[in-house]
Amino acid sequence: MTFNDIFKSSFLESVTEFSAVDTLIGMVFALVIGLFIFMVYKKTFNGVMYSTGFAMTLVGLALVTTLVIMAVTSNVVLSLGMVGALSIVRFRAAIKEPVEIVYLFWSIAVGIVIGAGMIPLAVIGSAIIGIILILFANRKVHENPYLLILNCRDEKAEDAALNLAEKAVARFAVKSKTVNASGIELTAEIRMKDAGTAFVNQLSSVDGVSCATLVNYNGEYMS
């Protein structure tokens, strides 16, 4: 088989010719929407540590997915080969926040829709998703949960600290209690009346209380 036979093979001839202009338009829209996803993620992020690498991955994922879908839609044989190639890829990056899955699927969906030529759907859908995520991220939480950790010398100091804490907060619920030779360690979930934390200073000044710690808690991490 000569090179001439290779270039005249049915496989290469079956590849549908693509438009450079359409490809450029699709990649530009993928870049713009990818940057929009990047900005929404940055604005709505409320985790422990912001990852610039993950945010940039959202942009790259939209571009790469668009390119792959454009190639797949140009040839049936190529689409089968692409599915087989992608099926052996394994991703082991840890997802730190559940909401990050939403952004990953959002970027992939944008790439698929733009690659299929439905650019208006990608623009309108991304605008709606972005607005919803921003609105939920900016929603004010009136009762922030906190963990109050008290180290008391004896039961008398414990009772005095609990009475003071129950008066200073809107809600108080004991979660754990540890008693050992050094004293008592008490952990309670509280809902504060306002943003003031002066009552923690008062708790630490109670006779027999060696330490009073207030920790913000959202159910997934502590900071």
CA distance 153 to 181: 9
CA distance 15 to 127: 34
pLDDT, residue 175, reads: 86
Domains of the chain: 10-137 (no CATH), 145-216 (3.30.70.260)
Within the chain, strands assigned E span 145-152, 169-180, 183-192, 209-216
Cβ atoms of 119 and 66 closer than 8 Å = no
Q: Which amino acid is at 104?
A: L
Digit-by-digit pLDDT tens for the chain (223 residues) are 554 554 455 544 555 556 788 889 999 999 999 999 999 998 888 766 777 888 888 999 999 889 888 877 766 556 656 665 555 556 566 667 778 888 989 999 999 999 888 999 999 999 999 999 988 876 655 556 888 888 998 888 888 888 888 888 888 888 888 888 888 898 888 887 777 778 888 888 888 888 888 887 655 444 4
pLDDT, residue 86, reads: 59
pLDDT, residue 170, reads: 82
- Least Cα distance to 12 among 80, 84, 77 occurs for 77
